[in-house]
Amino acid sequence: MNITRIQARLEKLPLKVPYTIAYKTITDTEIVFLEITLSNGITGIGAANPFEEVVGETPAQTLHNLQQDFLQQFLGRDIRRFRSMIAEASIQYAHQPGTIAAIDLALHDAFGKYLGIPIVDFYGRKHRQLPTSVTIGIQSVADTLHMAKDLTQQGFTVLKVKTGLSVAEDAERIIKLREQCGTDMRIRVDANQGYTLDMLRHFLEQTVAANVELIEQPLPVGQDAQLNALPIVQRSQLCADESLTDVHTAWRLSHPPAPYGIYNIKLMKCGGILPALDIANIAATAGIRLFWGCNDESLASIAGALHVAYSCPHTRYLDLDGSFDLSRDFVHGGFKLFNGQMLLSDQPGLGIEWE
């Protein structure tokens, strides 16, 4: 079954509610969609919205890359050679993971639909369902508690709280959140590089009774080695995010004494399903647990992340709420959400179709 058409477009989508992280406020997102059509009419759908501050690529650059002549050489190619096409794209667009991710996802979707099976079953399903966290941005204590109450009423059991501007205010929010939610709610923290080592120590001391499950990227990229000053029991609950972008950083951060006990793998950072599997294998050899994250993304790429997450035995945490915040999407399907649990559909490929 050969490829007959390749098309890309960019859509700018406002978020339902803007939110603030340690270094910016986000009000909308730009998503690039890629469609690959096969000779029997099957369409594979990919999507990407790389975060320039993390990977140095913008959605506009992604669109430009996908509309160049390079991708047109895949016309006439057999979809069963999808891995070799991803390898070629990875060389052509090295250090541009958004571009590679869109290609990787569209080819995986088309290939799975060609086989008639979900991609998670092609790689070997290890999980059926896990809860995803939902994100609360940096805001006042009152607003944090109000949003948490609303999310709890929707059935979510895991909250991720953005921090990184003030240790005292961050700690107060977490403590009050634990008091309101009780012990059944799992609480995670994402500092987005907002702390120094001393600030992190103070935050850990002040929130020890709140039983924070994990802390994402507490220090700026490049300062990871400072974390080795912490005892291993504290490092084990730290999660690499912005510091973990590809297999090279995954390998470097896995060397003992490892500063992180958890890896946050995002398809928009590493370039899609195939490199995500490589990072997962590196983590497995080092005993590092897997956390699957996202940007503000379409169902198309969130579904891709969920397929690869459920094919990895070391997956422990999901933070795949990126499509929940969109005012609209251009695809449907992929997964079902029940009381905060994410369940993949039984449809082939990534389980997605155009609206």
pLDDT, tens digit, 9 for 90 and up, residues 132-161: 999 999 999 999 999 999 999 999 999 999
Q: Is 310 within 8 Å of 271 (Cβ atoms)?
A: no
What is the structure's pLDDT at 225?
98
What is the structure's pLDDT at 305?
99
Q: Above 90 in pLDDT, residue 117?
A: yes
Q: Which option is the CATH number for 120-354: 3.20.20.120, 3.90.1530.30, 3.90.105.10, 3.30.470.30?
A: 3.20.20.120
| Two tokens, residue 135 | 């994100």
Phi, psi of 133 (to 5 degrees): -80, 160
Catalytic residues: 162, 266
Q: Which option is the CATH number for 2-117: 3.40.50.720, 3.30.390.10, 3.90.1720.10, 3.40.630.30?
A: 3.30.390.10
Give the up-direction half-sphere exposure of residue 196: CA atoms within 13 A in the CB hemisphere: 3
Mean pLDDT calculated for residue range 186-195: 98
| Two tokens, residue 195 | 């702390």
Q: Does residue 190 have a known ligand-binding role? A: yes
| Two tokens, residue 187 | 């609480």
Helix (H, G, I), strand (E, B) or coil at 4: strand
CA–CA distance, 188 with 161 (Å, rounded to integer): 6
Q: Above 90 in pLDDT, residue 22?
A: no
Q: Above 90 in pLDDT, residue 17?
A: no
Q: Where does the chain hold its CATH 3.30.390.10 domain(s)? A: 2-117
Calculate ∠ Cα 249-254-256, nearest 5°.
135
CA–CA distance, 309 with 351 (Å, rounded to integer): 15
Q: Provide DSSP, 106-155.
A: HHHHHHHHHHTSBHHHHH----SEEEBPEEE-S--HHHHHHHHHHHHHTT
Beta strands in the chain (DSSP E): 3-20, 25-38, 43-48, 129-131, 134-136, 158-162, 186-190, 215-216, 238-240, 262-265, 289-292, 315-318, 331-333, 335-338, 341-344, 352-354
Q: What is the chain's mean pLDDT, rounded?
A: 97
Q: Where does the chain hold its CATH 3.20.20.120 domain(s)? A: 120-354
Q: Is 291 within 8 Å of 312 (Cβ atoms)?
A: no
Q: Does residue 52 have a known ligand-binding role? A: no
Residues with Cβ within 8 Å of residue 258, at least 6 apart in sequence: 235, 286, 288
Mean pLDDT calculated for residue range 229-252: 98
Give 57's pLDDT tier (boundaries 50, 70, 90): very high
CA–CA distance, 227 with 268 (Å, rounded to integer): 25
Q: Is 99 within 8 Å of 62 (Cβ atoms)?
A: yes
Give 72's pLDDT tier (boundaries 50, 70, 90): very high
Q: Above 90 in pLDDT, residue 27?
A: no
